[in-house]
Chain A
Amino acid sequence: MVKTMKWLAAGALCAAAVGAQAQVDQVRVWASACANCHGTDGRALQGNEPLAGKDKDELVQKLMDFKTGRKPATLMHQISKGYSDEQLQQIAAYFAAQKK
């Protein structure tokens, strides 16, 4: 019985935690795909551009310029075409909100 009570208590905590914990955010997962080159949460190591804490509008502009071919690139013009404009805006907003 004592054991059962212990599990009931754990269960209550568990249910509370479930309520608090949302589905992992889709935009966060999309942004994590950029981390291979640009560092976890956009905090890049030497050689690639950091994205964390950058101005959102500037990031969006850059990504759109890559996508439309206005800005020359080695491969970002090829990668950016894989995302809708709205997805690029959401990803830019995610990185803008990260600590540098």
Chain B
Amino acid sequence: MQRRQFVQTLGAGSAIAGLGFMSGCATPGGSGAKVVVVGGGYGGATAAKYVRLFSDHGVQVTLVEPNAAFVSCPVSNLVIQGSKTLADITTPYDNLAKRHGVKIVRDRVASIDPDKRMVKLAGGGELPYDRLILSPGIDFMWDSLPGMAKPGAQDKVLHAWKAGAQTVALRQQLEAMPDGGVYALSIPLAPYRCPPGPYERACMVANYFKKAKPRSKVVIFDANDDIQSKKGLFMKAWKEHYDGMIDYRPKHKVVDVDAATNTLKFEFNDDFKAAVANVVPNMRAGEIAVKTGLATANARWCEVDFLTFESKAHKNIHVLGDAIQIAPGMPKSGHMANQHGKTCAAAVVSLLAGKAPPSLPIYANTCYSFVTDEDVVHVASVHRYDAEKKTMLPVPGAGGVSVAASELEGRYAHAWARNIWADSLA
């Protein structure tokens, strides 16, 4: 007899209140319920740590992550600009194991069986779970850019939208580019990971050009009708610091790329050939979520219950971070994924103990963008659960943006990074 079956039998025949929620048993020590977390980004790493904290280390947590260390997307534009290195934005996973007792499995997930509650690893192992927390991030929809399927195309025209090797490679392309060259950045239709990220990247590339290659230019091709975040602040920065260097073109949707010639092809506009082409493709929930049938919104994003982050497609599977179908006004950001992780962890620990999840999630988003290597702007919002609409909604009257870019907020941005990396991973 399986433990789970036993618990269910007990629940069915018992008058003990609350057992209806039970799908495992959070006994302290080694025999606790099993939670498997897939993906060690801002969402998954935070969820793994906080399931341990909220359960007083009673729930067993296994984190499956293929990478040796966490590399942060926030602050990665400073690696492209040149004032930070990849090492500066990298945090190891070992503190999750040493300080919090999370078991770390360095592997990829090959498949998930929601009925048997089993994760199959690419390396051949199997991990049973009572509840699965999936934080798969995003993957790119290469189908929408046929030319990018050609051999070598994806190594030449970079996205650098997942921090790591591509971040460094884009920096190298910019360093190798002769002065007077044009860097072209294309932005996909929203929703995409990190709404202000592309506009910050334009600032950071222009900042590098201003110092090292003053005759060079930045051209932004935005598939959207307008700047998606901190519009006034970015426009002011472009005028103040990079006048004549940044050319912003809205309503330019890239439909194909000729990587051999760094040429962007548009739905309605003329082709554009760049010295360095940086294409951020359309994106959707990470492959494993799509494959498991969790991406129920336009086959792109995973719909969840915002009290628990449990998938609307499969019971006992929770989905976090950029992969979800967002609530109104909720950005796809690392800060938000960290908040998802805590809300989900609290719900999972409560449910495993046979209790209802906390009923009023409230959390904030804070997002800093560098407009020079020192001056920074922010956008903040507070999101509260609406029981009637069953979603998270921005709290009216709260949140907002910086009055102006400042060095003080530059210091806060670095403090934010230091603290959120520790909160998620240490």
Contact = CB atoms under 8 A, between A and B. Distances in A.
B397 interface: yes
A77 to B, nearest CB: 8
A22 B400 CA distance: 36
A47 B415 contact: yes
Given A15-B16, A18-B354, A23-B357, A37 B362 contact: no
A52 B58 CA distance: 24
Interface residues of B, number: 68
Contact of B358 (A14, A24, A37, A46): A24
Interface in A8-65: 10-11, 13-15, 17-18, 21-26, 28-30, 32-33, 35-40, 44-48
Nearest to A82: B382
A13 B10 CA distance: 13
B353 A23 contact: yes
B335 interface: yes
B140 interface: no
Interface residues of A, number: 41
Given A23-B355, A33-B339, A40 B398 contact: no
B283 to A, nearest CB: 23
Contacts, number: 160
A82 B22 CA distance: 33
Interface string B2-33: 01001100100000101100100111100100
B1 A7 contact: yes
Q: Which 6 pairs across A and B sit closest by C-beta, in order of nearness?
A: A82-B382, A47-B415, A82-B398, A14-B25, A23-B355, A33-B363
28 contacts: A11-B6, A11-B10, A15-B10, A17-B58, A18-B16, A18-B19, A21-B353, A22-B355, A24-B357, A25-B358, A35-B419, A36-B335, A36-B339, A36-B423, A46-B415, A47-B415, A48-B412, A48-B415, A75-B378, A75-B400, A75-B402, A78-B382, A79-B364, A79-B398, A82-B364, A82-B399, A83-B362, A83-B382
Interface of B: 1, 3, 6-7, 10, 16, 18-19, 22, 25-28, 31, 49-50, 53-55, 58, 335, 338-339, 342-343, 345-347, 349-350, 353-364, 366, 378, 380-384, 395, 397-400, 402, 406, 408-409, 411-412, 414-416, 418-420, 422-423
